[in-house]
Amino acid sequence: MTAAPTVEQEPIIVGIDTHKDIHHAAILSARGALIADQQFPATSRGYAQLLAWTATVGPVAVFGIECTGSYGAGLVRHLLAEGHDVREVNRPHAHTAARRGKTDAIDAEAAARKILAGEAPVVPKNTSGVVESIRMLTLARNSAVKARSIAQTQLQNVLVTAPGELREQINATTGPKARIAACRRLRPDTAGLTDPMQAAKLTLRTLANRVEVLNEEIGDLDQQLGQLVAATTPTLVSKIGIGTGHAAQFLISAGENVGRLHTDAAFARLCGVAPIPVASGKTHRMRLHRGGDRQANRALHMIAVVRLRYDPRTVAYMERRRAEGLSKKDVLRCLKRFIAREVYNDLRRDLSAVSSTRPLVALEG
């Protein structure tokens, strides 16, 4: 007896509209026909249910997911751990919502259609390794620095309006550290807070203690970040002008799977330092992209400024290009583009070493 031929299932495209508590998925055929859509909880069990549901329809060619760095991060980790191809999809434009309306089902279908149309080639960042740890620690450090700055400003403002005797006592100290220490030594009478003098003393001591606590917190985070970044990007941090904060920002911007940016030009575009022509008539010049990741752009700018002061090669380059008629800003833009190429190559080298030595991690959902 001849066995009946097996019918090969057609690959499907899955688009997913992500939210905090639920994800809505839509399935399209390879020809663009809407097959089904369904909602799942944004939990580990919900992710498993979503995969089981898609398996009943056919093999998934690719998942297109909105908000892969926020609401969809857990789902992306789960799908990557299962070996699926995942792409990042931008949210629908407001004009599209105005024409078609807006529901989770419509958004999920739109995500799948962008994949089918080839409009979503971006691979999401890998958030399962050391770069994600660096991102979270950097977030904690930045918030602590911001809180410290606010507390220091408030302390100065209170001193300006404090009773004269107290203001003169604190201002007699020299330097911010001595001023903080003097405020921490104040002993207000908490039973007499109706007196502005005692209220000012309590306020100053509270703010000074807060600054000191935040100083310790920032110091601890700096130590942890320094160790992680040095171990992750030893080549990058060895370069002139590139400190822990700069390297951490480049890691966060590019992601641990930096290979998703196929060239240094793509990394430069991400950082907002890719040249853009602005020519009209007899005017022919280039300017930089004003979009991109502005924190990464800031890091490149600070590195260029440091090298213009301490790196002889950079100083010589600035002098040579200025002699050719370029303005200082134009030369600085060229320098930032060169530094972006250097950073990209170092990131690829360092992160490839990390990937080859890091064991396979069981990804949570």
The string of pLDDT tens digits covering residues 205-244 is 999 999 999 999 999 999 999 999 999 999 999 999 999 9
Token pair belonging to 116:
């089918």
Which stretches of the chain are assigned E, i.e. beta strand?
Answer: 12-18, 22-29, 34-41, 60-66, 86-89, 275-277, 286-288
The mean per-residue pLDDT over the stretch 137-157 comes to 97
The string of pLDDT tens digits covering residues 163-180 is 999 999 998 888 889 999
How far, in Å, CA of 247 to CA of 19, rounded?
Answer: 31
Q: Are 246 and 302 contacting, i.e. CB atoms less than 8 angstroms apart?
A: yes
Whole-number pLDDT of residue 338: 96
Closest CA to 233 of 351, 357, 131: 351
Q: What are phi and psi of 130, to 5 degrees?
A: -65, -30
The string of pLDDT tens digits covering residues 8-34 is 678 999 999 999 999 999 999 999 999
Specify the pairing of strand 86-89 against strand 12-18.
unpaired
How far, in Å, CA of 17 to CA of 109, rounded?
Answer: 8
Q: What are phi and psi of 232, to 5 degrees?
A: -85, -40
Gyration radius (Cα) of the chain, Å: 27
Q: What does the CA dihedral 199, 203, 205, 208 come to, rounded to 10 degrees?
A: -160
How far, in Å, CA of 94 to CA of 1, rounded?
Answer: 60
Q: Could you give the domains of the chain?
A: 12-116 (3.30.420.140), 130-232 (no CATH), 235-354 (no CATH)
C-alpha angle 307-331-254 in degrees, rounded to nearest 5: 65
Token pair belonging to 151:
């507390």
User: In this prediction, what percent of the chain has a pLDDT beyond 90?
Assistant: 80
Q: Give the containing element (helix H, strand E) for 204.
A: helix 196-232
Q: Are 141 and 225 contacting, i.e. CB atoms less than 8 angstroms apart?
A: yes
The string of pLDDT tens digits covering residues 254-291 is 999 999 999 999 999 999 999 888 888 877 777 777 88
Q: If you search the block for the tokens 């200025």, which residue do you land on? A: 322
Identity at 344, one-letter amino acid code: Y
The string of pLDDT tens digits covering residues 86-105 is 999 988 777 666 677 789 99
**Residues 6 or more apart whose Cβ sits within 8 Å of residue 169:** 182
- Residue 359: pLDDT band (50, 70, 90) is very low
Whole-number pLDDT of residue 97: 66
3-class SS at 45? Answer: helix
What letter would DSSP give residue 117?
Answer: T
3-class SS at 26? Answer: strand
CA distances, 162 to each of 183, 185, 203, 208, 225 (Å): 12, 16, 10, 15, 39
